[in-house]
Amino acid sequence: MLTQAPKGTQDMLPQESHRWQRIERSMRKICALAGYREIRTPIFEHTELFQRGVGDTTDVVQKEMYTFEDKGNRSITLKPEGTAGAVRAFIESHMYADALPCKLYYAACPCFRYEKPQSGRLRQFHQNGVEVFGAKDASVDAEIIKLAMDVLNANGIDGLKLNINSIGCPTCRKAYLDKLRDYLRPKLPGLCKTCQERFERNPMRILDCKEDAAKLTDAPAMLDNLCEDCATHFEKLKGYLAAMALDYQIDPRIVRGLDYYTKTVFEIITDTPEGDALTVCGGGRYDGLVEALGGPATPGIGWGMGIERMLMVQDMRGTAPEAPGYLDTFVVTLGDEARIAGVKLVNDLRAVGVKADLDHAARSMKAQFKYAGKLGVKNVIVIAGDELQKGVVKLRDMVNSTEREIPANEVVELFANS
Ligand code: ATP
Ligand code: MG
């Protein structure tokens, strides 16, 4: 127990951390280029926020939330996704009164869902995400999709499928849901229990059911029943995606099925070697959400991207980046006086941006060389009594096993410029 992480959690170990750092770095850079700024919201929120914001007919709220009572008898939930917290912060800090649109991103945000742990499905996972408030034109739908693609491509995750759909708005969806219920009603006894429960409150989700979807391929599609406003929005989106040369497929099966999710929905998926579809990124428009959570009517749109799934795809494709070099140099010392000089030298090297270290384990000189070799350091600096007197240090090329002397006062400059 004590030496085992809880089920569904993973350590980010030092040999892997550079992969996370690269993902986060590219996320920050790509978002900043498009005028997005970072937001970090708390790891936990009032449970009600997610019940209302994610929707109490969703799997996330019904089955997957980490909910507990705190010592003040408040119901608290660890965030299962990033949107609800961002919307809450947008309202609470009156960001709606600032210049809109308000473009936000978060990088490697921890999310918690009580799911059955399996490949690509963790209980603590991490998401990159963007949220935009106050932009109703489809150009922003296209923009955030392009940002997601750019972040994925920057991390060697290409060849993914982009699927888009429109789930309309409360106006056109009402008539569509009646149509859908008429279609589903006679089939209901043959559908699973969850689908039967969803029939009244969230029938669109039935089309998404892993068990039943295959039986419902001739169901009416929301896409064929859009009002003029939603249809125009979708056409514009397609035009903007084409303008950026982004390939996409229309998949009328992508649904969300909550009132405040509107118009555009999309997912970016790939196939696993086992042939399953793996969703790396999913998102959509939520024009009704800010108002539903008590803010002024403000359109919104965003996506969430699973970082562990990005790493999975990198591993599948063999595109995981190589670890950067550990240290640029290692300073081997002999004797107390040389050690003092070594401490100073390492400090001077670091000050000019050279990754440097020296022995902290009171090792013999031979063991220090061995250690530097293990770390893969190519150029070792040797400071010993004799050389110290002469004002020189030795530079040892660990690859060719050659050594040369250089003046001690030139060594920092030498490494700084290499
Ligand atoms: P799925 O269909 O795989 O359950 P979802 O619809 O629940 O995904 P979203 O709520 O849209 O996913 O979350 C956005 C992204 O977060 C997903 O596309 C995925 O990459 C990642 N994600 C979601 N749940 C998990 C999890 N339990 N473990 C790891 N990553 C996850
Ligand atoms: Mg899920």
**Protein residue with its CA nearest to atom 12 in ligand 1:** 282
For a ligand 1 pocket test, name from 125, 210, 286 the mutation site with the most ligand atoms within 8 angstroms of its C-beta.
Answer: 125
Q: Residue 258 above 70 pLDDT?
A: no
The mean pLDDT of the chain is 95
Q: Tell how far the Cα of 69 is from the centroid of ligand 1, in angstroms.
A: 25
Q: Point out the ligand 1 atom lying closest to the alpha carbon of residue 129.
A: 14
Looking at the predicted structure, is the pLDDT value of residue 272 above 90?
A: no
List the CATH code of the domain at 14-169+227-317.
3.30.930.10
Tell whether the model's pLDDT for residue 205 goes beyond 90: no
CA distance 19 to 320: 7
For the stretch 279-302, pLDDT in tens is: 999 999 999 999 999 999 999 999
Question: Which atom of ligand 1 lies nearest, measured to the CA of 305?
Answer: 15
pLDDT at 105: 98
Instruction: Map out the domains of the chain as residue ranges.
Output: 14-169+227-317, 329-416
Q: What is the pLDDT of residues 356-413, one digit of tens each?
A: 999 999 999 999 999 999 999 999 999 998 888 899 999 999 999 999 999 999 999 9
At residue 276 the predicted structure's pLDDT band, cuts being 50, 70 and 90, is: confident
pLDDT band per the 50, 70, 90 thresholds, residue 41:
very high
Atom 21 in ligand 1: which residue has the minimum CA distance? 306
Q: 257 pLDDT band (50/70/90 cuts)?
A: low
Question: Between 141 and 203, where is the model more confident?
Answer: 141
Stretch 341-346: mean pLDDT, rounded?
Answer: 97
Burial state string for 368-394 with b = 16 or more CB within 10 A and e = fewer than 16: bbebbeeeebbbbbbbbeebbeeebbb
14-169+227-317 and 329-416: identical CATH topology: no
* Ligand 1 atom nearest to CA at 309: 20
For the CA of 310, the closest atom of ligand 1 is: 20
CA of 343 to the centre of ligand 1 (A): 48
Which CATH number is correct for 329-416, 3.90.1150.10, 3.40.50.2300, 3.40.50.12780, 3.40.50.800?
3.40.50.800
Substitution site in 155, 254, 279 for ligand 1 pocket (most atoms within 8 Å of beta carbon): 279
Tell me the mean pLDDT in the region 13-19. 96
The band of 261, judged by pLDDT with boundaries at 50, 70 and 90, is confident
| Angle (CA) 88 79 270, round 5° | 110
Q: Which residues line ligand 1 (CB under 6 A)?
A: 81, 113, 115, 120-122, 125, 127, 279-282, 304, 306, 308-309
Ligand 1 atom nearest 268 alpha carbon:
18
Question: Hey, which of 144, 309, 313 would you mutate to test ligand 1's pocket, going by the most ligand atoms within 8 Å of its Cβ?
Answer: 309
- Tell how far the Cα of 202 is from the centroid of ligand 1, in angstroms: 20
**Which atom of ligand 1 lies closest to the CA of 306?**
20
Nearest ligand, measured from the Cα of 111: 1
